[in-house]
Amino acid sequence: MNQMTYSMAQRIEPIAAQLAEGPVGLLRFAQLAGRNMLEVIPIETVRQTYMRGPLNIHYICDPEIVTELLVGEGRAFPKAKFTKDIIGSAVGNGLILSEGEKWRQQRHRYSPLFAARNLPRLSAYFAETGIEIGRSLADNPGPVDFVQVAPAATLANISRVMFSGTVDVTSEQIRRGLLTYFEYISKISLFDVMGLPKWLPRKKWLRSMAPVTTMRDLARHVIEARRAEKRPEPLDFLDLLIEAVDNDFEDLETTVDNLLTFVVAGHETSANAIAWGFYLLSLDPDTQERIRQEVLSVRPEGPIGFDDVQAMPLLHSHVQETLRLYPSAAFFARDADKDVEVKGIHFKTGDALFFPVYSLHRNEVLWDAPAQYRPERFLDVAPPRGQYIPFGDGPRICIGAQYALTEIKILMASVLREVRIAPSSVPVPRPVLTFTMRPGGPLVLDVAPV
């Protein structure tokens, strides 16, 4: 692809988040963070690679410091306390939040589930969903809210690969349970952001924790029912999970924690990337058509498989650029549990290390035209380590990164074979970051059959 090929794409500057343009005090920080974490991230973080925040906060966008704190000297720093407070009630002490030896055991136990050898089997379920979504959109052209379509697709995949085959649990039960569960965990408590004691009641507790307990009960039942089947060989993700924990004993409640952890990570993050990805393609019909032709040249009809998307470099670069501009995990934090010095900066025990991934991916010091959609920047080029971390880095890099990328690419490729995506007259919402970074309202695009 030459420079001229992307002349139109280089002029495209899609919707951006509203970052903080002035000082944000602690109380205001807590109030805003509960509604949209992006609004408390200083705008300076896209213009410089390190800045000191109030109190003991460090904002880190320097790739070398990022790498040292995630991969090197700080690789064992624990997740920030407020992160655990925010999502602990939903995902328990599973892989996301566990620390130390408990985390190492779980990581070792579950890593084989996401190995490349299992992805072709799981891809068949993604392809089935992709065909259904593509045909549905082609049969119902016009304005479509992709904030609804994308989660419906990833929810269908979860039902197929994690909760299928239990005769007394219907797909509708799973769908309703997951929807209320995701709605519950997306509500961030002001008290959690402020780090107040866990015994202080949270507003959402008063509404009831039924979405969490219901989903845990459902997950527990599905695990026990599937284990009782004693299938001779694993057919889906749940079979693989049960095989892993049966071979390396784990108590049932921790298995429930991890099943729900994988559900959360596999639904919200992929759905957001798919919605933003179609939005970007709507802005650039030339790139959209090139990707469509790439898909048709590899798999003109039928289910799109794991090996197929490995032969689609344009689609892959588009997904990478989507995750640069709109990383679902747009912010994460660690608590320093020892003193370290990196590039002359002292990080003391108890300091809060903030990694604003959104700002890192749009940093003016690091990227050429960072606010613009330029998928060609990822064609046969890998950014320096620590500069592009949509799935984190180091020992705690997202265990399901390849799973997510495969799901996103198969779903997008399946849809692009069937429909063209164009902007609509409905204003595009800014990104909002609570549990993940998502569109702050309906993302309505026009679809038409190919």
**pLDDT 10s digits, 36-90:** 889 889 999 999 999 998 788 899 999 999 999 999 999 999 988 767 666 666 6
Mean pLDDT computed over every residue of the chain: 85
Q: What is the mean pLDDT of residues 411-434?
A: 96
**52 bridge partner residues:** 58
Report whether 272 contacts 437 (CB < 8 A): yes
Architecture in CATH of 4-449: Orthogonal Bundle (1.10)
Query: Phi, psi (5° rounding) for residue 75?
Result: -65, -25
Q: What is residue 95's predicted lDDT score, i.e. its pLDDT?
A: 80
Query: Phi, psi (5° rounding) for residue 74?
Result: -100, 15
* Structure-token match 């579950």, residue found: 110
**142 bridge partner residues:** 447
CA distance 415 to 84: 37
Alpha helices in 162-284 (DSSP H): 171-185, 190-194, 203-207, 210-229, 237-247, 252-283
Which range, 26-30, 95-99, 151-155, 186-190, has the best average confidence (pLDDT)?
151-155
pLDDT at 364 over 60: yes
Task: Give me 308's structure tokens.
Answer: 């197929």
Considering the entire predicted model, what is its pTM?
0.88
Q: What is the mean pLDDT of residues 164-169?
A: 59
Quick: pLDDT tens for 192-234: 544 545 544 444 444 445 556 777 787 888 888 888 888 888 8
- Other Cβ atoms within 10 Å of 343 Cβ, number: 10
- DSSP-derived pairing of the beta strands 50-52 and 57-60: antiparallel
Dihedral (Cα; 128, 129, 133, 135), 10-degree rounding: 10
CA distance 331 to 65: 16
User: Tell me, what amino acid is at 387?
Assistant: Q
